[in-house]
Amino acid sequence: MEFNEFLNNFSTSVKKAHSIYIYPHVSADGDTLGSTLALKKYFDSIDKESVILIEEVFPSTYKFMYDEDSFEFYDQNEHDKADLHISVDTGDINRLGKRKEAFKGETINIDHHKTNTNYAKENYVDYHASSSGEIIYEMLIGLGCTLTKEIAVYLYVAISTDTGGFRYSNTNENCFKIASELIKFNINISDLSKKVFETNSIEKTLLMGKAIEKLRFFFDSRVAVVLFRKEEYLTLNANEEMFDGIIQIPRNIEGVIVAAVIRQSLDDTVKVNLRSNDDQVDVSKIAFDNNGGGHKRAAGYTSNENMDDTLEKLLHDIEKQLK
């Protein structure tokens, strides 16, 4: 759908609605939270009743954006009053978690994920956009919304986090242009960046230290592997989410072509996370051979072997592709 056509439909739907529920996806990130908040503040500015429905603990990284007036925790018995439902940054209906029960009737789906399943009555998916924040910015401008410093902060967080701070390959011309507009509202870039990019919990920091301690190098340090046994991280109070970034440690080492984290989970299954820094190794091939998935540069699988055998087999699989 054309952007302008969508914007007209959107505007009409909003005018008709008496009350709106806005839906970020589960495991909320900066883009879904910043985008839904910006939209909520727009509805406030035109005196349209709305609320953002969430169902999980608010992520600690973004707690500075939490406000009681904007968010409500989903309650099946309570939340059946809206006559318009808008999801943002949510690729498929299951990413709405329990709230998918409420997402019915007049529904709008605004997203930038190529894999979006168009599950709503009205769907606007622009996968050329860096982030949902970029789409919401263009929508608010198109709707004649007067941006405020508050909205600028939300959109900046949305766009900057989804592009990894303007570092990922989805970083585009438009998101730099939008950033140059948002910064005019005197938003504190260094303070925001510190909060969203640089702050780690004590537990995460100690887990990173342990990961470095467990680093092993193979094939002239072209392959770096972190081997994590359960007993090594249990005492660190690490949760599953904290393991997400650990692969960056071996991946970011100079000269490393393949990085791996092999981890014994709480249920004793052995999980393998892989990254390739070079086209010579396609880690998705290794993952597919082990009934896993992914793409050339990032893939993973669950191993049926113990830690040591998993490592040995993995090194063998990598060696076949190393030049």
Residue 178, CA distances (Å) to 37, 50, 130 in order: 17, 26, 11
Q: According to the binding rule CB under 8 A, does residue 198 interact with a copy of itself?
A: yes
Task: Among 4, 77, 190, 235, indicate the residue that binds a copy of itself (CB under 8 A).
Answer: 190
Q: According to the binding rule CB under 8 A, does residue 184 interact with a copy of itself?
A: yes
Give the nearer residue to a copy of itself in terms of CB position, either 98 or 128: 128
* Burial tier of 191 (Cβ tally within 10 Å: 0-12, 13-18, 19+): exposed
Q: According to the binding rule CB under 8 A, does residue 166 interact with a copy of itself?
A: yes
Give the nearer residue to a copy of itself in terms of CB position, either 171 or 273: 171
Residue indicated by tokens 């500075």? 64
Give the nearer residue to a copy of itself in terms of CB position, either 254 or 268: 254
Q: According to the binding rule CB under 8 A, does residue 76 interact with a copy of itself?
A: no
Task: Among 79, 248, 307, 321, indicate the residue that binds a copy of itself (CB under 8 A).
Answer: 248
Give the span between the Cα atoms of 315 and 323, in whole angstroms: 14
Residue 12, CA distances (Å) to 5, 8, 29, 88, 106 in order: 11, 6, 29, 18, 12
Of 261, 244, 264, residue with least CA distance to 305: 264
Q: How far is the CB of 21 from a copy of itself (least distance, A)?
A: 31
Give the nearer residue to a copy of itself in terms of CB position, either 69 or 254: 254
298-303 and 293-295 beta bridge pairing: antiparallel
The residues binding a copy of itself (CB under 8 A) are: 60, 160, 164-169, 171-174, 176-177, 179-180, 183-184, 188-190, 193-194, 197-202, 205-206, 208-209, 211-213, 215, 217, 221, 248-249, 252-255, 277
